């Protein structure tokens, strides 16, 4: 089966600019996650969707980050305006169902963002 | 709050030797535990998980992990390391209780297998 698709793979922007990342999860996966992975750290959850509804966005910096999952399939994550500390790899992941808490998540290759 | 500790930033092992990557966790109740591997410029790949039952869990590529409740550990092991096992390894935990809890990752351990 096809994996989680993300684009772009790399992005370089200046601080205060805006940027958007796109994710297409594995077909049939109701749960979608966006993680931020800063160099030298483990991934940190930004937001979790169940279908097109937000389940957890407690760690999303809502003053500058936004995410949506229209129609419960693809998702976009936006940063506006970007700060230097937003430089990281943004990982999208999906899993089969929220209730199945033991389900593993499948990750995309990530988007490496550099803010200069 | 749940947390994961990977005490070693780097583990070096000779090819053919057994390897261990350490992980300890902290949760209020029972845990779901996972290991992921990350190769350069690749996303995280699932290796194995502990849900319940047998404390020794077998996963992909010959890896296994042992759940030890008394020591709150979930160390990753492999009897004979390969150079191709060199990568970044992440342990993750999710708390077992009703409601939604996120998967929390450790900071990762870089494994280097030397030929």
Residue A78: CATH number of its domain: 2.60.40.10
Question: Contact, B91 vs B23, CB < 8 A?
Answer: yes
Q: What is the pLDDT of residues B58-101, one digit of tens each?
A: 999 999 999 999 999 999 999 999 999 999 999 999 887 655 66
Number of domains in chain B: 1
Question: Contact, B92 vs B34, CB < 8 A?
Answer: yes
**Shortest Cα distance, chain B CAs vs residue A73, angstroms:** 20
Q: What is the pLDDT of residues A12-68, one digit of tens each?
A: 999 999 999 999 999 989 889 999 999 989 999 999 998 889 988 999 999 999 999
Question: CA-CA distance, A114 to A83, in Å (whole number)?
Answer: 10
Domain span at A62: 5-97+108-115
Number of domains in chain A: 1
Confirm whether A102 is domain-assigned.
Answer: no
Q: Are strands A19-24 and A5-7 parallel, antiparallel or unpaired?
A: antiparallel
Residue B52: CATH number of its domain: 2.60.40.10
Residue A96 with chain B: CB contacts under 8 Å: none
Domain span at B45: 3-114
B104 φ, ψ (degrees, to nearest 5): -105, 130
Q: Which two tokens stand for residue B87?
A: 């990568």
Residue B45 with chain A: CB contacts under 8 Å: 107
Query: In whole angstroms, what separates CA B109 from the centre of its chain?
Result: 9
When CB atoms are compared, the residue of B42, B49, B96 closest to A109 is B42
């Amino acid at each position: 089966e096809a994996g989680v698709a993300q684009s772009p793979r790399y992005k370089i922007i200046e601080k205060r600019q805006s940027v958007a990342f796109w994710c297409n999860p594995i077909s049939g996966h109701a749960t979608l996650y966006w993680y931020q992975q800063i160099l030298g750290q483990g991934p940190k959850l930004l937001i979790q969707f169940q279908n097109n509804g937000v389940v957890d966005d407690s760690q999303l910096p809502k003053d500058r980050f936004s995410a949506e999952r229209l129609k419960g399939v693809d998702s976009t994550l936006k940063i506006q305006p970007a700060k230097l500390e937003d430089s990281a790899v943004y990982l999208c992941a999906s899993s089969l169902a929220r209730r199945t808490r033991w389900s593993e998540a499948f990750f995309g290759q990530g988007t490496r963002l550099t803010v200069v | 709050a749940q947390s994961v500790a990977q005490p070693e930033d780097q583990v070096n092992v000779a090819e053919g030797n057994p390897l261990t990557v350490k992980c300890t966790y902290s949760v209020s109740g029972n845990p779901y535990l996972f290991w992921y591997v990350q190769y350069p410029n690749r996303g995280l790949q699932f290796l194995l998980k502990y849900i319940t039952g047998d404390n020794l869990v077998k996963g992909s590529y010959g890896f296994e992990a042992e759940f030890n409740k008394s020591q709150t550990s979930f160390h990753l092991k492999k009897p004979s390391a390969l150079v191709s096992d060199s990568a970044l390894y992440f342990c993750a935990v999710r708390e077992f209780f009703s409601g939604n809890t996120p998967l929390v990752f450790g900071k990762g351990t870089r494994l280097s297998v030397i030929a």
